[in-house]
Each structure stands twice: as structure tokens, then as C-alpha cells.
Amino acid sequence: MHAVALDGPGGPEALSYREVPTPRPGPGELLVRVRAAGVNRLDVWIRNGTYPVPYPHVLGADVAGEVEEAGPGTSGRFSPGDRVVVYPGLSCGTCAACRQGKESFCESLGLLGRERWGGYGERLAVPESLLFPLPPTLTFEQGAALPVAYTTAEHMLSRAEVRSGERLLLFGATGGVGTALLLRARRRQARVFAVTGSASAAGALLAMGAEGVYRRPDLTPLEGSPALPERVDAVLDSVGKEALPPGLARLRKGGRYAYCGVTSGNQVSLDLRPIYARQLAILGCFLGNREDLRVLLEDSLKGGWQPRIHRTYPLSEAASAHRALDGPHLGKLLLLP
């Protein structure tokens, strides 16, 4: 089969589109014909060596496709031709967290495309337990947008206990996770004030439901947005270092700060006194649980929302997609084998 493989760490040019052996489904696994695969910041960190992997290696944690073949010992729940989406968390399945349906808290949690070959190829062998039926309301491209960004967003909103009418300050609003947070927060009828480093995206963010859009890092209103509230109920952050000080300063007493990324840096100097004095909660969030993906898939059947896709690329142009991830984009970037 054709795939995009890595033979060692490097820049986008290290991604090699070539023939590799077609995987075979082992016990309890299914062979999936990949129809769409998402591009994530995780892929960049693996590609540049931040997360070492054995080589050669195939990236890709976001996968939607069709079942082609079942390995021995599968349940028969899926048949050839079934449309599926893959949950990307590789958990042990036996620890207390896994038994409680909190796979993202598993101490041995791995990721598709990191601990095992992922979706940057025409086919993928994957444990049956990771597959969900892809509803008819979603295309393959929309399905592949969900597993990392939208599952993470749903997990963050649940952990931060976001409720209808609450005011949310969203940092990093234009990326895959950022647009997912905006759309899913609006689905909960929360009020979203979006912060972005891309002023040109302000109009689109307002059209997606943001109540106001603000320039990063000075929080200047854009496109006629109202003044930012002095206090918000929760902060949602995929940026890290740059967002933490202004985000904490805007939280009301008892407010919640949920973050899932550190694209602007991971080392901060922090005054701890306001955190306990104002009884603030800081919530680290990583991926999400199978239940979060199930909620997203079931909610798609109700209509009224769709994942935001910025652009698709042929699989052979994976290097271009990786370069685009570092540029301005509004939503998910996808590869189509």
C-alpha cells in the first residue's frame, strides 16, 4: 500500500510518500481502508523527534474509513463495507480508570500514530474495541476531524463543567481544537469570547458563534466586538504559556481553567496566591474518553452542527499539510489517501 512514512526525525521534508507493507489484522483486529486522516500537532512533535518512535513509522491519530477484513477472534459487530471512525487512545482496558470509562486517565495510555502505526496510509489494522460506527450524517472527512480535536474539546468542556449561559474565554480559537471548543461550547449554549493571533479570522469566528473576538496577546477587540468581560466563568486554552497569566486574571472566584496544549511555550512563572485565594481550579486535559467520542457521534444525528474543516490534501502532500499547520488556518487539516 502507499503510506507516508518517517525514517527519522526532521522537518516536513522527512515525510516520505512510498510503498510500505500492507498491514494484516491480528487477533481481535480489523483492517480498515482509510478514507480520511487528520493532521495534528502531535504528528509534528513525533516528526521532529520530541516523541521518539521506532523507525520506519507511520503517523496519524485521526482516522475514518471502511472495514475491509476481520482478523481472528473479532465479535462480528462490524462487517466489510461498514463506515467507521477510530478512537485513538490505546489504553490497557483493565485498570480502574479504564473500567470506569475514563480511558484518558489510564497510566499506560498510548496513542494511535505514536505507539503503533497510524492513519497516514491507505490501510490500518486496529483493535476492534477502538471502532465506532460512523453515522450517515457525517462524511469520512468530518468523521476524521473528530477523534483528537473534538474528543479533546468535549472532554475539556465536561471537566470544566461548562453550562448554558456561562461566559467562556477561549484562547487559540482558530486551530483544530480551538474551533472544536467554540462549536461544542455553543452547542451547550455557553457564551464564547474568542482570542486569536489571526485578526483575519475574526469575521469567521463571529459567524461560528463567538460573541466577541480579541487579538492575542493584548485582548484588543476585533471586528466591532464588545469589550471583553472583566470576569468569566471558565477559560479554555490550547496555547499554554502566553494565555495563562491573562486567562487566570479574568476568572471569577471559583472559576475553572482547562487547558490541553502548550504551543506558545510550557514554562511559566506563577503567583500561587490568587489561585487559592480566589479558589480557582486548573484542569489539565489530554485527549478524551470513548464516551466523549460517542456523545459527538450521537449528537451529529440531531443535526445543527458540523466539525469545521479548513482544507484537505492528497496523502502524497502530507508535507504541505504539516507546513500549513504552522500557518493561519481555521479548523482541521485532513489527508485523503
Residues of the chain with CATH 3.90.180.10: 2-145+308-336
277 near 141, Cβ under 8 Å?
no
pLDDT score of 264? 78
234 near 191, Cβ under 8 Å?
no
Fold (topology level) of 152-284: Rossmann fold (3.40.50)
Residues of the chain with CATH 3.40.50.720: 152-284
- 274-331, pLDDT tens digit by residue? 999 999 999 999 999 999 999 999 999 999 999 999 999 999 999 999 999 988 899 9
pLDDT score of 262? 84
pLDDT score of 159? 97
pLDDT score of 265? 81
85 near 64, Cβ under 8 Å?
yes
User: Cell 469520512 appears where?
Assistant: 140
Length of the chain: 337
Class of domain 2-145+308-336: alpha beta
| CA distances for 291 relative to 68, 127, 130, 169, 288, angstroms | 25, 17, 12, 25, 8
Residues of the chain with pLDDT under 70: none
Strand, coil or helix: 129: helix
pLDDT score of 269? 87
For the entire predicted model, the pTM comes to 0.96
329 near 205, Cβ under 8 Å?
no
